[in-house]
Amino acid sequence: MARIRIVRAADGRQWMVRQKLEWTDPATGEDFEHDMQGGRLAAIGIVSIMGLLWVALLAWWFTGSQGVVVPVWVWLILLAILLFFPGRWVLRRPRTLVAETPGGSDGSAPERWVGWVRGTAAAREEMMQTVRSLETRATPAYADSPLQPVS
Q: pLDDT by residue (tens digit) across 24-68?
A: 777 666 555 555 556 678 778 888 998 998 888 788 777 876 666
Q: Report DSSP letters for the chain, one per residue.
A: -EEEEEEE-TTS-EEEEEEEE-SSPPP-TTGGGG----HHHHHHHHHHHHHHHHHHHHHHHHHH-SS----HHHHHHHHHHHHHHHHHHHHT-EEEEEEEE---TT-PPPEEEEEEEESHHHHHHHHHHHHHHHHHHS-S--TT---EE--
**Across all residues in the chain, what is the average pLDDT?**
84
The pLDDT-based confidence of 135 (bands split at 50, 70, 90) is: very high
pLDDT of residue 90 exceeding 70, the answer is: yes
Above 80 in pLDDT, residue 86? yes
Decide if pLDDT at 1 tops 90.
Answer: no
Distance of alpha carbon 14 from alpha carbon 103, whole angstroms: 8
β-bridge partners, 14: 8
Per the CB < 8 A criterion, the answer to whether 147 and 139 are in contact is no
Strand partners, 5: 17
pLDDT at 106: 75
Instruction: Give pLDDT, residue 23.
Output: 81
Please check whether residue 12 is in contact with residue 104, taking contact to mean a CB–CB distance below 8 angstroms.
yes
> Nearest-CA neighbor of 128 among 19, 2, 12?
19
Tell me the C-alpha distance between 103 and 96, whole Å: 22
| Alpha carbons 55 and 2: distance in angstroms, whole number | 40
